[in-house]
Amino acid sequence: MRYLNRIILSSLLIILSGTLSAQAEEIDYTQYEQVLAGCVDGKAVDYEYLVLNRAPLDSFVMAISRVSYEQLGSMTNDERLAFWINAYNVLTLKAIIDVFPIPSIRAVKRYDLKQFKVAGRVVTLNQIRIEIIGDDLVEPLAYLVMTDGAASSPPLQKEPFRAEGLRERLQETARELFNNGKFIFVNPELGLVQVNQIFSWFIKPIVAKYAKLSQFKELEEFTAGPMNFIWTYADPGLREKLKQPADWKINMLSYQWIINANRRPTLDEPNRLKKPTK
């Protein structure tokens, strides 16, 4: 009996040890930090730098492909959210530099359906954006820090996202974008709110999370959701405009698909970006 108890205790210790080690194992974002430090140029991206110095990017893409299903499952919600935001952004960079120079993200043939291996599964950028961020994690704020490489997309941030401080960074980004006069335009006289077109791409999680909040509850849900989302992070000046009684309507701003590069590629770019052969 004593021998059997020892076996049971040993088995439990092994299981507990394995669980704790999986939980303690964190994603190493060092290479991705190097990528961002070299390529983020204000609100634009230096794709030429990435083409000529792509080793850290390729190494990080390989690293996230090797993250195990068990490791992903042991993460907290915020750890998973940070992981998938970083994965989406770095894979977008890879999709672009694989064919750079290009004038527009639309020049990357079906870039949103390109397949990548992440955490033991094959996913597309669309699946990360819609199924994982939208349906599984249901976090509209994440879309405000995910870039698709277009001029109208949210700018790529200079630091990787981590669970620690994640919510604060997402909320601060929302406040910055919603109040900068470029992402959202409010016209109380017309009862019109014009928003960046990315709102239409994640309307489902916006409605799920914000439609029932009290400020605009009288509106139909596909208007109430975005209006409450904006209200939540609006500064006093913007809230004053939104307080004015109106039968609010939401319109999408025209989306600029031109590449968010820090400078426009020239015709001789492909030859100029080739590394000299030894």
Burial 90-121 (b: 16+ CB within 10 A, else e): bbbbbbbbeebbbeebeebeebbebebebbee
Position 108 confidence tier, pLDDT thresholds 50, 70, 90: confident
For the chain, the straight-line distance linking the first and the last C-alpha, in angstroms and rounded, comes to 72
DSSP 77-95: HHHHHHHHHHHHHHHHHHH
Q: Which two tokens stand for residue 266?
A: 């020239």
CB 85 within 8 A of CB 144: no
Q: Identify the CA nearest to 51 among candidates 107, 92, 96.
A: 96
Q: Which two tokens stand for residue 231?
A: 């209200």
- What pTM was computed for the model? 0.86
- Res 17: pLDDT: 41
- Res 245: pLDDT: 76
Average pLDDT of the residues in 202-229: 94
CB 241 within 8 A of CB 230: no
Average pLDDT of the residues in 264-275: 52
- Res 266: pLDDT: 56
Model pLDDT for residues 143-194, shown as the tens digit of each residue: 999 999 999 999 999 999 999 999 999 999 999 999 999 999 999 999 999 9
Report which residue type is found at 29. Answer: Y
More confident: 114 or 275: 114
CB 219 within 8 A of CB 206: no
Q: Does residue 49 register a pLDDT over 90?
A: yes
Q: Percentage of residues in the chain with pLDDT exceeding 90? A: 75
- Res 274: pLDDT: 53
Q: Identify the CA nearest to 199 among candidates 161, 150, 250.
A: 250
Q: Identify the CA nearest to 61 among candidates 17, 20, 94.
A: 94
- Res 71: pLDDT: 94
CB 159 within 8 A of CB 85: no
Radius of gyration of the chain (CA): 22
Give CA separation, 176 vs 80, 86, 215, in Å.
Answer: 24, 20, 21
Distance CA 246, CA 227 (A): 12
